[in-house]
Amino acid sequence: MELTETAESAKATSLRNTKRVQTTCPSHLLKKEEHLRKRIRKVLGTPIDKLDELYKAMDEIYTFVGAFAVCRAGCSACCHISVTISKTEVMYIEQKTGHLAHPPIPKQNFFGKPCPFLKEDKCSIYAHRPFVCRRHVSMAKTATWCAIERCNEITLTQPRFSEVDKSYEDIVALPVPQLVDIRQVF
């Protein structure tokens, strides 16, 4: 892949786009995010039910974010980096997709290896993808810095939503979750 965007330009664009998300986000989405943790805590049912509720809210919020992101269907560079998931998410994927997890294999460096759910450069469980996949977006102008050979060279700004993060932490019982790479169990 040809270098089509300098590191400085990508950093500036990602910061600018993240600020645009923050300043132009519709008030109904801000209100939804502001009350998300309280709403999810009230959900009766299993952690999977709560994760479902979180993911629905994230889909709405990140649909708005997507207007500022370079990410598009078929772009799959991020599917070759670490995809950490919790035990709750393993159960969620099993229940929602029918894919059964296997006992965890030893931790290793999976950098550069495709996610097991990546099929023909598309996520085969997209509707049920993990939390980290849902919130990982590139706010740069191009996908230049997403390429696996240069993705660790710079850090780009990404929008974060505190109530989304706190809700996830509540559901998976952070700060001491049992996180594994998706490749260890699927």
For residue range 18-41, what is the model confidence (pLDDT) as tens digits? 999 999 999 999 999 999 999 999
pLDDT score recorded for residue 173: 83
**pLDDT (tens digit, 9 = 90+) per residue, 42-59?**
999 999 999 999 999 999
**pLDDT (tens digit, 9 = 90+) per residue, 83-128?**
999 999 999 999 999 999 999 999 999 999 999 999 999 999 999 9
122 near 74, Cβ under 8 Å?
yes
| ∠ CA 68-71-75, rounded to 5° | 170
Residue 128, number of CB atoms within 10 A of its CB: 20
Backbone angles phi, psi at 115, to 5 degrees: -60, 145
Pairing mode, strands 180-181 and 84-85:
antiparallel
Residue 146 has pLDDT above 80, yes or no: yes
164 near 29, Cβ under 8 Å?
no
pTM of the model: 0.92
Percent of the chain with pLDDT over 90: 92
In the structure encoding, which two tokens stand for residue 28, read together? Answer: 């109904």
Residue 1 has pLDDT above 90, yes or no: no
In the structure, what pLDDT confidence band is assigned to residue 175 with cuts at 50, 70 and 90?
low
Angle, helices 27-34 vs 47-66, to 10°: value is 150
pLDDT score recorded for residue 174: 62
Cis peptide before 175 (omega within 30 of 0): yes
140 near 13, Cβ under 8 Å?
yes
